[in-house]
Amino acid sequence: MPQSLIVTGPTATGKTRLAIALARRFGGEIVSADSRQVFRGLDIGTGKDLGDYSTGGEPVPYHLIDVADPTEDFHLFRYLELAKAALGDIVARQRLPIVAGGTPLYLKALLEGYSQEGGAPDHALRTSLEAHSLDELREILQREAPPELYARTDLTQRRRLIRGIELARNSRCIERVPLLQNTLILAPWYDRATVRQRIAERLDARIANGLLDEMRALHEAGMSWERMEWLGLEYRFCPKYLQGELTLKEMRDTLWQHICQFCKRQDGWFRKLERDGHPIYWILNGDLERATALVQDWLQGKPLPAPEIRMDDIHYGPLHSPLTTSH
């Protein structure tokens, strides 16, 4: 089985830049694992940073970015179809596939295969559920969904609740066939306080660089405010400012808080990934040289040491201090 590198991690930790740097050093190509970067026109809000692929060195090819219209439903089956084709093409040309991104569903499916409980989107069901309040949707999901599905659903987002109900009502199984089996997983690691600061700085930079203009342009091109809300985070809260529901400061501060909460949920998913037998090599402060040394040994078939950082060993104190372990 050909080797594949995965560079993942929480939001705002620089995983894409690390992946690009490693691609330049090892002759790799990037396969995005970001559920929103597949959409054309969602550039600033999703942090595509396409200029990074072509500046600072040899251009790095990328795949599964800008492959869908933002108004269409892009589900996991479509992602896996495109990922399988991209990975096969990269390997056939004797290049190193580097999967970069932090969408848990995509990464889990690539590593373990996927049993899609709900199949393709059910548009009629989605339309009928739109009339329900968040509390009503939570009650429906709790009543109809298996405990595991209920536990992994984000109960604060309407689109996640509706998708959860859709999965619960349309159960079927697909054979699990992992696309990646010989992998090394790397992830930049920063302490919680630093990550929160990086999130704030990135958000302020995106607002200054035209995030709100991007939202206006999308809406003027025909994307409804409801569709933007479905896309989450930036696309959920910026339109509230554009429609006069929030002041600019309220929008910025609320969005920052929700991105931080999202980042915390990501930590829980990475912890589960490790427990499921997928070790993650957390790279302290995203150090490129440390990452390069690990990749070099891995490509040469040398045994790697145990990861120095494990999510189960990280305990964030009340002041969000740097790494503290239970040892």
Q: Does 323 fall in a domain?
A: no
pLDDT at 174 over 90: no
What's the rounded mean pLDDT across residues 275-302? 97
Residue 5 has pLDDT above 50, yes or no: yes
Task: Tell me, yes or no, whether 48 and 72 share the same domain.
Answer: yes
Residues 183, 271 within the same domain = yes
Residue 47: which residues within 8 A CB-CB, separation 6 or more? 16, 37, 202, 206
Q: Is residue 68's pLDDT more than 90? A: yes
Same domain, 161 and 210: no
Is the model's pLDDT at 122 over the cut of 80? Answer: no
Based on the fold, state whether residues 165 and 179 are members of the same structural domain. no
What Å distances lie between residue 89 and 32, 61, 62, 227, CA to CA? 15, 12, 12, 33
For 91, counting Cβ atoms within 10 Å of its Cβ (0-12 exposed, 13-18 middle, 19+ buried), the class is middle
Q: Confidence band (pLDDT; 50, 70, 90) for 323?
A: very low
In what side-by-side order are the strands of the sheet with 281-284?
62-63, 28-32, 96-100, 3-7, 182-189, 281-284
Question: Which token pair is 220?
Answer: 């003027």
What local confidence, expressed as pLDDT, does residue 131 receive? Answer: 83
Closest among 37, 40, 47 to 12, alpha carbons compared: 47
pLDDT value, residue 117:
53
Which CATH number is 183's domain given?
Answer: 3.40.50.300
| Residues constituting the chain | 327
Same domain, yes or no: 196 and 280 = yes
What 3-state DSSP class applies to 185? strand
pLDDT at 275 over 60: yes
The closest alpha carbon to 28, from 54, 65, 64, 61, belongs to 61
Please state the rounded mean pLDDT for residues 173-192. 85
143 and 20 housed in the same domain: no
- Residue 42 pLDDT more than 70? yes
In a domain, residue 319? The reply is: no
Residues 235 and 87 in one domain: yes
For residues 135 and 38, state if they share a domain.
Answer: no
Do residues 60 and 162 share a domain?
no
The boundaries of the domain holding residue 129 are: 123-169
Residue 320's H or E segment, with its range, is: none
- Indicate if 84 and 49 belong to the same structural domain: yes
Q: Is residue 99 part of a domain?
A: yes
| % of the chain at pLDDT higher than 70 | 91
Whether pLDDT at 118 is above 60: no
Residue 110 lies in a domain: yes
pLDDT grade for 315, boundaries at 50, 70 and 90: low
The answer to the question of residue 84 being in a domain is yes
The confidence score (pLDDT) of residue 172 equals 52
Structure confidence by residue, pLDDT tens digits, 81-99:
999 999 999 999 999 999 9
Q: By the 8 A CB rule, do 155 and 251 touch?
A: no
Of 20-29, 82-91, 138-147, 240-249, the range with the lowest mean pLDDT is 138-147
Bigger pLDDT: 178 vs 248: 248
Strand partners, 3: 182
One domain for residues 183 and 298: yes
On whether residue 318 sits in a domain, the answer given is no
281 shares a domain with 181? yes
CA distance 308 to 243: 47
| Choice among 91-105, 114-128, 262-276, 278-292 with the minimum mean pLDDT | 114-128
Determine the pLDDT at residue 320. 40
Mean pLDDT of the chain: 89
- Whether residue 39 contacts residue 227, with contact meaning beta carbons closer than 8 Å, is answered with no
pLDDT of residue 243: 97
Contact residues for 213 (Cβ-Cβ < 8 A; gap 6+): none
Extended beta strands in the chain, E state: 3-7, 28-32, 62-63, 96-100, 182-189, 281-284
Annotate 27-66 with b (16+ C-beta within 10 A) or e (fewer).
ebbbbbbbbbbbbeebbbbbbbeeeebeeeeeebebbbbb
Residue given tokens 């990861």 in the structure block: 307
Tokens standing for residue 111: 């590593």
* Total number of domains constituting the chain: 2
Has residue 182 been placed in a domain? yes
**pLDDT of 124-154, one tens digit each?**
888 888 888 888 898 888 877 766 677 778 8
Residue ending a domain, choose from 138, 169, 200 = 169
How large is the angle between the packed helices 248-275 and 192-208, nearest 10 degrees? 140
CA–CA distance, 254 with 102 (Å, rounded to integer): 22
Question: Global pTM?
Answer: 0.81
pLDDT digits (tens, 9 = 90+) for 224-236: 998 898 888 999 9
Q: Is 250 domain-assigned?
A: yes
